[in-house]
Amino acid sequence: MTDAATPVTAAVTPKPPRSEHSRGLLLAVLSYALWGVLPLYFLLLAPSGAFEVVAWRVLFSLVFCVLLITVTRTWRKLAGAFAKPKVVWTMGLAGLLIFVNWQTYVYAALNGQVVEAALGYFINPIVTVFLGVLLLHERLRRVQWVAVGISLVAVIVLTIGYGTLPWISLVLAFSFGFYGLIKKRVGGDVDAVTGLTLETAWLAPVALIQLVVVAGMSGLTFGTVSPWHTVALLGAGVITAVPLLFFAAAARRLPLTVIGLVQFIAPVLQFLVGVVVLKEPMPPERWAGFALVWVALIILTVDMVRSGRAPRRATLERT
C-alpha cells in the first residue's frame, strides 16, 4: 500500500457506532440535568399551586405522548402493550410512584424547600444502588462502595442539620428509587414513549379529579393570569415528558447501579437553585454534608472515566 492510499483509506473508514452503554449514559446525564434545573421552570408557574401544576403536567404529558406516537406512527406498539395485562398494570404502579414524586417535588419547589428536595435526590442514588444490588444482583466495585459510604455519611450530616425528619427528602428518594427499578424491569417489554403514555393514561382520571377539586376550592389559574403563564403551563407537558423519556431509554441500556451514580447531577443543580436563586438558609452542618457529597462525586467521576476507558481499549485491541 502506497503512502498516497493511506489518507484515502482513513477518510472512507466509517466511524464506529456509539455503544448502547454510551448512549444510555448520555441520555441519563441529559435527563438528570433537566431535572436539576426544573425548579426554575416551576417558579414561572406562580401563582398556580402544586396540585394544579401536577394535574396539568399529567394531562399535557399525555397529550404530548399521543402527538409523538402519531408523528412517529407507533400506535401498533401501544396497542401491543395494551395486549399485555402485566405490562399495563406494572406501568400503572410506575405511574402512581411518579405521581407521588411529582406532587412532592412541585410542593417543595413552590414552597421554598428546594434544598430539602435536593437532599432527597442525594439519598436517592443510595436507594437505587442498594435496590440494584439486593434485587437485581448487580455488583459494585470497591471504589463505588467507598463513594456510596461517603454519600451515606453526608446524608446523615444533612439530616441532623435539619433537626427533624426530612419527609420530603425521603418520599422523593424512595418513590423515584422504586420507579427506576420498575422502569428497569419492563425496559425490554415497552419502549420509552409507550411506557410514559401508559403511565399518564393511568393518571389522567386522577388529574381531572384534582383539577375539579382545585377549581372548587381556590379556582384554576390556567388561562387567567397571562398568555405567558398559559404557555408555560402548556409547556409543562413537554418539560415533564422529555427527561422521563430520556430516563426510560437510559434505564434500558444501563445497569441500575450506574443510573444511581449518574443521578447525583440533579441534586447538585437543585442545591444551587435553592441556595443561589431562592436564598434558602445553609447553616455550617449543611455545608459540611454537601462537602462530603462533592468528595463522593469526585471519586465516582474518576472511577467512571477509568472504567469507561477499559472497554474502549479492549475494543481497539480487537480491531
Q: Which domain covers residue 45, as residue numbers?
A: 20-132+165-271
Residue 304 falls inside a structural domain? no
Residue 301 lies in a domain: no
| Backbone phi and psi for residue 73, each to the nearest 5 degrees, phi listed first | 55, 50
Q: In whole angstroms, what is the distance from residue 99 CA to residue 121 CA?
A: 16
Q: What is the mean pLDDT of residues 28-54?
A: 90
pLDDT of residue 6: 39
pLDDT of residue 184: 73
Give a yes or no: residue 209 inside a domain: yes
Does residue 316 register a pLDDT over 60?
Answer: no
The domain tally of the chain equals 1
* pLDDT > 90? residue 212: yes
For residue 144, being part of any structural domain is answered with no
Instruction: Give pLDDT, residue 133.
Output: 72
Amino acid 245: pLDDT: 82
Please report the pLDDT score of residue 307 as a whole number.
67
Q: DSSP state, 136? A: S
- The predicted structure's pLDDT at residue 319: 35
State the average pLDDT over residues 162-186: 82
Residue 174 has pLDDT above 80, yes or no: yes
pLDDT greater than 90 at residue 70: yes
| Three-state DSSP state, 48 | coil
Q: What is the pLDDT of residues 9-31, one digit of tens each?
A: 444 444 444 587 788 888 889 99
| Mean pLDDT (the chain, rounded) | 81
- Measure the CA–CA gap between 121 and 179, rounded to whole angstroms: 13
The answer to whether 256 touches 285, Cβ cutoff 8 Å, is no
Is residue 318 over pLDDT 60?
no
pLDDT at 134 exceeding the cut of 50:
yes
313 in any annotated domain: no
Give a yes or no: residue 91 inside a domain. yes
Per-residue pLDDT, 145: 83
Q: Where does 15-163 have alpha helices with state H?
A: 20-36, 38-43, 50-72, 75-82, 85-110, 114-135, 142-162
pLDDT at 304 over 60: yes
Task: Answer whether 0.75 is exceeded by the pTM.
Answer: yes
CB 292 within 8 A of CB 157: yes
Query: What DSSP character marks residue 277?
Result: I
| Single-letter code of the amino acid located at 227 | P
- Per-residue model confidence as pLDDT tens digits over 231-285: 999 998 888 888 888 887 887 788 766 776 777 788 888 988 999 888 888 888 8
- pLDDT higher than threshold 90 for residue 84: no
Overall average pLDDT of the 88-98 stretch: 92
- Concatenated DSSP letters of 31-46: HHHHHHTHHHHHHTTT
**Is the confidence at residue 2, as pLDDT, over 50?**
no
How high is the pLDDT of residue 165? 73
State residue 187's pLDDT score: 64
251-260 pLDDT, tens digit each: 778 876 677 6
Is residue 26 situated within a structural domain?
yes
The residue ranking higher by pLDDT, 166 or 61, is: 61
Q: Which of 39-43, 58-62, 151-155 has the lowest mean pLDDT?
A: 151-155
Residue 9 has a pLDDT of 41
The better pLDDT of the pair 217, 6 is held by 217
Coil, strand or helix at 74: coil
The pLDDT > 90 percentage for the chain reads: 27
- The verdict on residue 9 lying in a domain is no
